[in-house]
Amino acid sequence: MTEYNKSELLICTAARQMADNTICFIGTGIPMLAAALAKRTHAPNLVAAFEFGGVGPDLEKLPLAVGGSRTFHRAEIASSICDLMEAAARGYVEYGFLGGAQIDPYGNLNATVIGDHDRPKVRFPGSGGANDIGSLCWKTIAIMRHGKKRFVPKVGFLTTAGYLDGPGAREQAGLPSGSGPYRVVTDLALMGYDDETKRMKLLALQPGVTAEQVQAETGFELMIPDDVAVNDEPTDEELRLLREEIDPDHLYT
Amino acid sequence: MTEYNKSELLICTAARQMADNTICFIGTGIPMLAAALAKRTHAPNLVAAFEFGGVGPDLEKLPLAVGGSRTFHRAEIASSICDLMEAAARGYVEYGFLGGAQIDPYGNLNATVIGDHDRPKVRFPGSGGANDIGSLCWKTIAIMRHGKKRFVPKVGFLTTAGYLDGPGAREQAGLPSGSGPYRVVTDLALMGYDDETKRMKLLALQPGVTAEQVQAETGFELMIPDDVAVNDEPTDEELRLLREEIDPDHLYT
Amino acid sequence: MSNLASGRGALFQKEKVDDLRHWVRENKPKGLMSKVMSEQEAIAKFMTEGCYLGVELYGSVRCPMSLVREVVRQGIGNLRLAGQGVLENDLLIAAGLVKKLDITYHGYEVFGISPVLRRACESGEVETVEWSNAALAWRFKAAAMGLPFLPVRSMLGTDTFTYSAAKEIECPFTGQKLVALPALTLDVGLIHVHRCDEYGNAQIDGISGFASEMARASKRLIISTEEIVPHEEIQKYPERTIIPYYIVDAVVHAPGGALPGEMPYVYWRDEKHMNLYFEQAKNAEGVEQYVEKWVRGTKDHEDFMKKLGGAERFEQLKAQATRR
Amino acid sequence: MSNLASGRGALFQKEKVDDLRHWVRENKPKGLMSKVMSEQEAIAKFMTEGCYLGVELYGSVRCPMSLVREVVRQGIGNLRLAGQGVLENDLLIAAGLVKKLDITYHGYEVFGISPVLRRACESGEVETVEWSNAALAWRFKAAAMGLPFLPVRSMLGTDTFTYSAAKEIECPFTGQKLVALPALTLDVGLIHVHRCDEYGNAQIDGISGFASEMARASKRLIISTEEIVPHEEIQKYPERTIIPYYIVDAVVHAPGGALPGEMPYVYWRDEKHMNLYFEQAKNAEGVEQYVEKWVRGTKDHEDFMKKLGGAERFEQLKAQATRR
């Protein structure tokens, strides 16, 4: 079995979450590689969409910007941010990838500030399209590094809506029914959300990691079912695709 | 002096109302010929705009439909109805031409029905873009045949807003300030609106017509100033342009 | 606010945005798959009795007339219809298929009032609710944006508003009065384009009218096209894709599909045939004869084209097309 | 409704739709006239201290960097700024010209957080109000539609809403909760395009980002262009005109104007130069040196291009461009 690094593990785990014949909002970085990998394995008809207007590029070369020319190279469509976000509002976009500095048990994300908003301790880039993606896509997949400072009981600033404060809260706030956080992919584990409580739940461990380790790196109580699966390691074929075809210059991995 | 018919008189009178370097919403028929004539005489930089998206066509051949290819032949822009109407909403469109079955003293127009709406005596085509043009352009120019059945005290159905029921009514209704009816061009006269009362006012008589005749053909009291001008007859050059260049096949005249 | 008015017209199409989202998720194809089929198949597959229909542009310009004729052939009735219309809606009304009409403009443009509409409205056969041209386009735009309504500045102060199903609202920022237009979602939308690939990625030359908005507001979207081009052609100029494949349900190859109306840059309108129609439309018997002969009496679009004069006539009309 | 929330952020730009209409009527050129001028002239003529500015697309893609550098050269300060930004807004903040920022995303994408933004916000030098990417585009769209607000379904339930200047409303038809976004009108908008004519009729290849909406939301619109083409070229493909001449105030011929970012299909980004910037941006002194050398230290765009490596470097970057 081939050796692999953390980025490669994240990419492979993320890739496996996406179903074929769906449209998926992609940002630069890991989500892009995950989409490219999914397309080359179990989801050949997965459609990568970029919020500034590119839909269905060949991803032959990896984009360096969400509006860059590679997001619409040999694409079906090169339109606009309004067009894409409105397609999401109409229910066309199944998945959206998100990241952030902090996540809480309900999948709410902070990508804005630590500390007081008007005089922050740390200023992050801000929502970008994340708030829209978290509002309008059916399912969001968060990709994070695990750690207590990142997995917090309550985000310091709620940039992007997860399940807010629990069941029914999204609908009450006016967000589309049936939408919301779906998966959290980290270097330690794969998590989902409990149907009833809408709280984060451990689904599977990354190879060699224990549930205790995951809980220890999580700043809130994680729902841990009795039997937790273990993710398959990245296969030789996945690693070959990643290294030889998708990111041969190792810009991201 | 060359002989002319009523259509030619209407066209020449309408053409003279438009200032250079303005954008003007044009429908098929007389307004189109008026715009083409104005462009060839005093307003070379008049821009003809068609509500389905054509802006600035050469009008080398006259369009037969407001969405037809001649409305964007060698035009600057071929966009969409939303784009054009929204430009009007932003204040870019100075003039819009209107017609209808009935007009009242405040310039309100009926192009919808005579009789009960749900079981009409006569069903007309409906607003089309007229309501939008009457709402959003700065000035509207109505082109009508004069007659008591057409110039009525109160329109049977208010399709398109003129000054509604008088001063301040447009603004009160939420329509843009400073916009409203500007001219009515008929075979008998040119009319405008009184600044204070917003009622229709005789501005000039067509050649050979008296103010009494105009009033007799108008179903409400027309404001008639002490000295009423008389329109110049169509000039030889105007008629030549119309007959030889603009409408050589006499489709409209 | 108690002083804000509501139009008294009926809302002919009621759809909740959230329900639509779920419908889209379940029913629209998100992957690339060939959607090429005939007029017969497309209409039979996606149109149903009583459905709410919309057609773009005008009957005399870039209008999917071959699809409309097929609706008449299949006799799908009790339709609710959105529209500014010339030949297309006129034909549907003439064939007795329309019950309710969200009307903006319905007439023959320079050829005047539609006697078909007059008969249908004056007899009470067709129920109408009033809108302006832009209002209808903006209602499509609201649906295209995934919103239940859009504010606009048209229709204020008029009977067009009173006989619509719109409402007045106040701007939450400025307090100014605005009209709120309810989003309009079509059960089926029909659009004719210049070219598309087998998946439905479509390009339009010249003005796009309200194609972009109406396409996105359609639950089922059938496009007819002058030409089906290889996918690679679309991929080369992706900025030209005005209708993305994922909103398209059927692609019908229909050269001459806009006839007797014009197709910008491709062919001019068949003035002779349009005059024939306008002449026959003057009375109920005449228009019925037209429908019998030219629609029900033709098997399909190919047959219609043959009757119109075949390749020879088509070439004549192509030669008269407006050039770039 | 008393239970509806309002964002607590300030509205940095206050404009009434009706006032804008009057302004447009008085100030915008409706006829065709040549608007070609240099960066220096355009910025000096239309930008003023304290004005509200917007720049499209991102700093690293199709961004009017030659115009932005000229703003820095002329030192027009106290700016209010709309933005998702990478290099463009970063440069303006680094040069100390920005007071208020309607922020959506401001960072270096794959290169991470902007230390320039961090310093400016953490010191309190720049005041921020929060929006999402789509919300900002929709605010432009509201202005482009001539409306004081647009309803949307983003930002609900979040601090992004709370620290915005948006308001919650209820749909007059469905009763559902929505966010009302106030229209955003720019005093000055800057957009870089692939080609336009001397009047400003402009085409963009590839995605249009938010160019269409932002252009229409700009009181003064300055476009820079890779190429000025004959008017006849525009007239041949009028459906490609995404920015109509009548909203344009200045046309600046700026080949390489998006550098060091990329211009789709024309040239690839100057990765070396971008890395240099990101490296120097890490501390205040470094970025000040960058601004001194590369912006204030260059006379104009031509001079900047020379410093970057002249025709030879430009040709290298062109050779690396993504092809259709």
Residue A253 pLDDT: 74
> Which residue from D minimizes the CA distance to B82?
D145
Provide the sign of the torsion angle of the four alpha carbons A46, A50, A56, A60, taken in this order.
negative
Report the pLDDT value the prediction gives residue C313, as an integer from 0 to 100.
98
Q: What is the pLDDT of residues C153-184, one digit of tens each?
A: 999 999 999 999 999 999 999 999 999 999 99
Contact A62, A246 (CB under 8 A): yes
Distance CA B49, CA B25 (A): 5
Contact A123 D176 (CB under 8 A): no
Confidence of residue C1 (pLDDT cuts 50, 70, 90): very low
| CB atoms closer than 10 angstroms to residue B130 | 31
What is the DSSP-derived secondary structure letter of residue D267? B
Q: Nearest CA to CA, how far is D137 from chain C (Å)?
A: 13
Inter-chain CB proximity C176 and D208 less than 8 Å: no
Amino acid identity for residue C268 in this structure: W
pTM (2 d.p.): 0.98
Question: Which tokens is C186 given?
Answer: 């079509």
Q: What is the pLDDT of residue B73?
A: 96
Q: How far is A20 from chain D (nearest CA, A)?
A: 25
Residues of A in contact with D212 (CB under 8 A): 80
Q: For the ranges B62-66, C271-275, D306-310, which has the lowest average pLDDT?
A: B62-66
Element (H, E) at A110: strand A109-110
Q: Which residues of B touch C124 (CB under 8 A)?
A: 118-119
pLDDT tens digits, one per residue of C42-100: 999 999 999 999 999 988 999 999 999 999 999 999 999 999 889 999 999 999 999 99
Strand pairing report for B122-123 and B113-114 = antiparallel
Give the A window 7-46 contacts with D, CB below 8 Å.
28-29
Would you call D159 and A112 a contact, using CB atoms and an 8 Å cutoff?
Answer: yes
Beta strand pairing status for A189-193 and A180-185?
antiparallel
CA distance D192 to D171: 37
- A203-246 confidence digits (pLDDT tens): 999 999 999 999 999 999 999 999 899 999 999 999 999 999 99
Q: How many helices (H) and strands (E) does chain C have?
A: 13, 11
- Pick from A54, A85, A119: CB nearest D124: A119
Q: What is the pLDDT of residue B27?
A: 84
- CA dist., res. D181 & res. D285, Å (int): 39
Using CA atoms, how far apart are residues A56 and A37, in angstroms rounded to an integer? 14
Which residue has 């008929």 as its token pair? Answer: B186
Q: Using CA atoms, how far apart are residues A81 and C210, in angstroms rounded to an integer?
A: 19
List Cα–Cα distances, D249 to B28, D27, D51, D246, in angstroms: 31, 10, 16, 8
Q: Which CATH architecture has domain D19-146+186-323?
A: 3-Layer(aba) Sandwich (3.40)
Catalytic residue among B3, B8, B51, B221: B51
Pairwise CB contact (< 8 Å): D168 & A174: yes
pLDDT attached to residue D1: 44
Name the minimum distance, in Å, from the CA of C20 to any CA of chain B.
23
Inter-chain residue contact C201 with A20, CB threshold 8 Å: no
C89 touching chain B per CB within 8 A: no
Q: Which of residues 194-223 of C touch B (CB under 8 A)?
A: 206-213
The subunits that touch chain A, with at least 3 C-beta pairs less than 8 Å apart, are C, D
Residues of A taking part in catalysis? 51
Which residues of chain A register pLDDT less than 50?
Answer: none
Q: Is the pLDDT confidence value at C3 over 80?
A: no
Distance of CA D179 to the CA centre of its chain: 24
Over residues C196-207, mean pLDDT: 98
Distance between CA A28 and CA B167 in Å, rounded?
58
Answer whether A85 sits within 8 Å of D134, measured CB to CB. yes
Nearest to B75 by CA among B99, B94, B56, B90: B56
Residues of B in contact with D146 (CB under 8 A): 86, 88-91, 136
Nearest CA in chain B to D142: B86
Where along chain C do its domains lie? 19-146+186-323
Tokens for D292?
A: 């001194």
Q: Which residues of chain D register pLDDT less than 70?
A: 1-2
Q: Quick count: other Cβ atoms within 10 Å of Cβ C172?
A: 18
**What pLDDT was estimated at residue D110?**
87
Instruction: Identify whether the C-beta of residue C117 lies closer than 8 Å to the C-beta of residue B123.
Output: yes
Q: Chain C: residue nearest B157 by CA?
A: C159
On average, the pLDDT of chain B sits at 96
Tokens linked to A13: 């785990």
Q: How far apart are CA B196 and CA B185, in angstroms?
A: 21
Interchain contact D102–A (C-beta under 8 A): no
Annotation says B60 is catalytic: no
* C31 contacts on A by Cβ (under 8 Å): 20-22, 45-47
